[in-house]
Structure 1
């Protein structure tokens, strides 16, 4: 299983915002600079994270983005489900485009489907807060500043 760049960037944005002090605003440009990611990609990601309710966008002068909920309330499995466009690990997962002639009798689809559910179940066991246990070290790396512990 490989996550798309979109999901990877979504998770990185959430970690970045979670490493900030509560209610502190950030900019897409600052996140782009910290990770070396295209600002255009991050604009799409942050727009979708806002629509999903994970982040809050403050418009206008002095505006920015921040988490819309506590990191312990952001389930990683749900974020992945919301940001991945499909989970078709093999062709036969998509009934509309499947042309595999052995699909009716092949056990591979079932095994891969169970593996996918196990993968997502593991992610369901984590929240954003779990990835922020070293928040100050993350902040130091991302913001190039020393935060008080």
Structure 2
């Protein structure tokens, strides 16, 4: 199984917003820190906003931020939004399925069970689980150092 780029960017975007909680962040900042195209991030942000995960504020001083607390954002729910548009295999696509085995193949039912188990595990993970206490992530994504968190290394005194 391989996640789409959009799903990966959605997770990165949400982690960026969670690390910078309480601040408005720009899609261009997310793109730079997460090694992504600004256009791709903007499309992901638009979908995250439509689904109620982030709120956006337009204008020169605008940006995005989480629309709900990180501990109420299920990673499984987010992944479903971005992954369900693309069928896992040809036989999962009711319109374009041309597989001659579809009517008798047992593999599909096992794949369905495996996908359900995958999403079940991700349903147990919140955005907060991904960022809380993750000093490496905070050091990479924080817009300003937060010395109170104990994560960012303080500069050596001369």
TM-score (norm 2): 0.86
Check conservation: 1:19, 1:135, Cα contact below 8 A: no
Displacement of 1:5 in angstroms is 0.2
Taking the TM superposition and a 5 Å limit, the aligned residue runs for 1:95-134 are: 95-134=94-133
Could you list the per-position Cα deviations for residues 22-70 of structure 1 after superposition, in whole angstroms to 9, with x for gaps in the alignment? 3211111111111121101111111111111100111122111111100
Quick check: 1:10 aligned with 2:10? yes
Distance 1:146 1:137 in 2: 12
**How far 1:144 moved relative to its partner?**
7.0
Unaligned runs of 5+ in 2: 150-158
- Runs of 5+ in structure 1 lacking a partner? none
Asked if 1:26 corresponds to 2:15, the answer is no
Instruction: Please say if residues 92 and 98 of structure 1, whose CA atoms lie closer than 8 Å, have aligned partners that are also in contact.
Output: yes
* Structure 1 moving runs of 4+ over 4 Å: none
TM-score, structure 1 normalization? 0.91
Give 1:1-149 correspondences, 5 Å limit.
1-20=1-20, 22-86=21-85, 88-143=87-142, 146-148=145-147, 149=149
Count of aligned pairs between the two proteins: 148
In structure 2, the residue corresponding to 1:10 is in which secondary structure?
helix
C-alpha change, 1:3 and 1:118, in structure 2 (3 Å) is same
